[in-house]
Structure 1
Amino acid sequence: MNMNIMKFNGQRLRDALQFRGKKMAELSRETGISRQSLSLYANEENVPPYENVQRIAKNLDFPSEYFLSEDKCTTVTTNTYFRSQAAAKKKEQNAQEKKLEYTAKMYEILLNYVDFPALHLTLPMGIYADADDVVNAEPEEMQEKIEKLTLSLRKAWGIGNAPIENMQFLLESNGIVMTGFRNVDDKIDAFSQKVHVKNGDSVYIVALALGKKPRERLRFDMAHELGHIMMHNWDESNEDLNREEFNAIERQANMFASAFLLPRESFGKMVSPYATNIEFYRSLKKKWGVSMQAMMYRARQLDIISVNQFQYMMRQISQKGWRTHEPGDVPGNLNSTIFQGAIDVLFDGGYLNARELVRAFRDAGIWLNTRDMEDLMGLKPGTLDAGPKILSIKPRIEPK
């Protein structure tokens, strides 16, 4: 947009409210601007005085230019899969969905400078065309399909049947973009979005809700989202799913995660000797990077233990107070994201500096503050600090 003919963009007001998880009434109460006036601004039926633009921008923590610019990105986002969707507030889901859209837009800009790993999902995908297929699938047939799919994907990615050492790296190296958001409603575990970028290709972005969850939980969340990517219809909106359909899809993604992280043959062989001893699962947890309870569930799924044995073991877990905090739990986090790697390459190679990259984002209409940009891309705080650098390192002088 030509900065000489900037005008207030009503859609940006609606987007900013969604981004911050706020309602128009809250903004009205906190800024002193009438709800009617805000509605007129949002519908572009009235132009706000600049003082009101500043009050809105300050309240929503956006640069005032955000509301005076247009989106120039061509990225198109499709359905978003949320874990625990039924329990989370719709307002919170909408906020995270909007944030993920902006993450996709920044990915689009970085594509101008960096070749990200290509998406490597060559197997048949979307094995369940719609929610009805999932709900009506025979359990044994579904389980067998998932077992074969996970083994085929492991083979395609060259990881055999061994424990996965670094789930984040595995996904990123195969073209799935990872990031993590903080301060997310605790009823949301993870969410993913399919994005069509400007060159016609598609990419999947997975966001984890970071906080106090143990690392094993985050690994399972990653595998769960991978299950959605591999099995489900991304053209079918979650908004159209009833409770039964949503729960069926979530169970299937959990089955995929369990089978992918704990392959039937190798895990089954390892767990069998002491499958009813809960202390044995403490040692397996270190090897497989999966929670004790998830491994017990997998042992039951594979008929290594009976229903009664599984239920007895879960009662023991409850009596020991391990249902929410297992032995060995350590708060999990992401390693440096693919965004951090891309930006480090650009900065270290002298192709761009922080100020130039932020300007490239803003030229495309991504007028976020740098703190939000860093959060959405999972960057180290200060990565986009555009302050001037007045010092440099002298060339090393070798002694004569």
Structure 2
Amino acid sequence: MGVKLIEPSRLVLARKRAGLTASALARLVDVTPQSIHNYEAGRQSPTEDTLIRIAGALMLPESFFRLGPVSDITADEVSFRARTKMASRVRGMAICSAQLAVEVRDYVLSTFKVPSVDVPYIEQDMEPALAADYVRSRWGLDRDAPAPNMVHLLESKGVAVFSLPPLGEHLDAFAFWRNDEPFVLLNLQKSAERGRFDAAHELGHLVLHRDTTRLNGRDVEREANEFASSFLIPATGIKRRMRSNTTLDRILQEKSYWRVAAMAMAYRLHALGLLSDWSYRNNVIALGRLGYRTGEPAGMERERSLLFQKVFAASSRGVAIKKMSSETGLPLGVLGELTFSVEPTTVPSLGVTSPSAERIDEVSSVWPRPKLKAVGH
């Protein structure tokens, strides 16, 4: 006799997240593939012993499978890059991370007050560079200065930013809208500088491609790349600092100033006419010899979530993350994968009102008036 019915969509999510076919999972838990199909279709409920084996094989607690339905997110709604190179299994695993991110975000929204969404919706066609300049102006960013921490900036504008588990070289990052809420998921396996570009690239998708029917268009990725380059290295700012056909040393100085990858810096200078074709080609070759084609030697520190630091600092001794784990049915390791591996330790000067309503000093000017406080206490 079956136990209380599990939520079929949760079994589908958990299996795909593990990268398993129904037949592979059936072998692991010693049932028939048809039984797995029946569980996932809601036609049959597993026994207590079978559910225990399923939970163990998929490394999730039994309670996870008894929660409500998960959000239905399709690949067509997501700004995947290199779609043709990405295996369908990897694409499915990435979608599962997005679904879990929605679960965590729902918990955060039910418990804390976070910044409201301020991501402009550009309905008419606008050149990516102009759109980037518009967003910078709207957000009060100095055109002559580098963008601040991109994860902090997006969070301060109401974007739900999460990290991804290692899912392969063809998955950099992706973004999507869920109702009126923007999400960005970033691959932490890339360099910190590449992570900043990925965040700006996904912001470009959120601003330029909210109409998901355009996400499969030929020019979509080019537009997002152009938006990211313009957002991170504004033309007016770089032209004030640079002359044409600059040296390799100056390229490296500027890449550190603007906090971007060296190759991205060279590309931007070439696109703006500040490097000739000949100089660009030679500098790219030189950068490749120095290791900048595959990484960023002596690069910057990775940008991570401020919001989750604040959430987990809202109570002592890890109570907040343990409660989140209990409410979402997600083990601490899975939550760590999604939240930039933020440790639930006390973080000073975070501008969060704890459940006991004790005020902590507000955060730096990057997030001038943080709106994160516990609600319902």
Q: Is residue 22 of structure 2 the alignment partner of residue 24 of structure 1?
A: yes
1:1-400 equivalent positions in 2, closer than 5 A:
6-71=4-69, 79-122=77-120, 124-128=121-125, 145-161=127-143, 162-196=145-179, 202-211=180-189, 213-236=190-213, 238=215, 241=216, 245-246=217-218, 248-272=219-243, 275-330=245-300, 332-345=301-314, 347=315, 353-359=320-326, 361=327, 366-381=328-343
Shift of 1:206: 1.0
**Aligned residue type for 1:86:** T
Shift of 1:147: 2.3
Q: 1:25 to 1:349 in 2, by over 3 A?
A: closer
Shift of 1:342: 2.6
Shift of 1:30: 2.5
Secondary structure of the structure 1 residue equivalent to 2:110: coil
Shift of 1:262: 0.6
RMSD (Å), alpha carbons: 2.7
Match of 2:372 in 1: none
Q: 1:376 to 1:276 in 2, by over 3 A?
A: same
Secondary structure of the structure 2 residue equivalent to 1:194: strand
Shift of 1:281: 0.9
Deviation readout 1:41-80 (Å, 9 max, x if unpaired): 2223333222111111100111123333433x7x675711
Residues matched between the structures, number: 341
Distance 1:237 1:38 in 2: 36
Shift of 1:169: 1.7
Tell me: higher relative CO, structure 1 or 2? Use CA pairs within 8 A at least 6 residues apart: 1
Distance 2:84 2:308 in 1: 31
Match of 1:134 in 2: none
Q: 1:348 to 1:320 in 2, by over 3 A?
A: closer
> Is the Cα contact below 8 Å between 1:337 and 1:379 reproduced in 2?
no
Distance 1:353 1:325 in 2: 36
Shift of 1:354: 4.9
Larger Rg: 1
Distance 1:175 1:289 in 2: 23
Secondary structure of the structure 2 residue equivalent to 1:98: helix
- Percent identity of paired positions between Structure 1 and Structure 2: 25
Shift of 1:126: 4.2
> Is the Cα contact below 8 Å between 1:168 and 1:222 reproduced in 2?
yes
Distance 1:41 1:146 in 2: 46
Q: 1:49 to 1:334 in 2, by over 3 A?
A: same
**Aligned residue type for 2:60:** F
Shift of 1:28: 2.2
**Aligned residue type for 2:232:** L
Shift of 1:32: 2.6
Deviation readout 1:237-260 (Å, 9 max, x if unpaired): 75xx3xxx34x2111111110011
Distance 2:201 2:89 in 1: 23
User: Which 5+ residue runs of structure 1 have no aligned equivalent?
Assistant: 129-141, 197-201, 384-400
> Is the Cα contact below 8 Å between 1:14 and 1:42 reproduced in 2?
yes
> Is the Cα contact below 8 Å between 1:84 and 1:189 reproduced in 2?
no
Normalising by structure 1, we get a TM-score of 0.77
Q: 1:287 to 1:355 in 2, by over 3 A?
A: closer
**Aligned residue type for 1:188:** L
> Is the Cα contact below 8 Å between 2:308 and 2:342 reproduced in 1?
no
Distance 2:112 2:220 in 1: 35
Deviation readout 1:15-55 (Å, 9 max, x if unpaired): 21122222112212323322122222222333322211111
Distance 1:378 1:35 in 2: 35
Match of 1:390 in 2: none
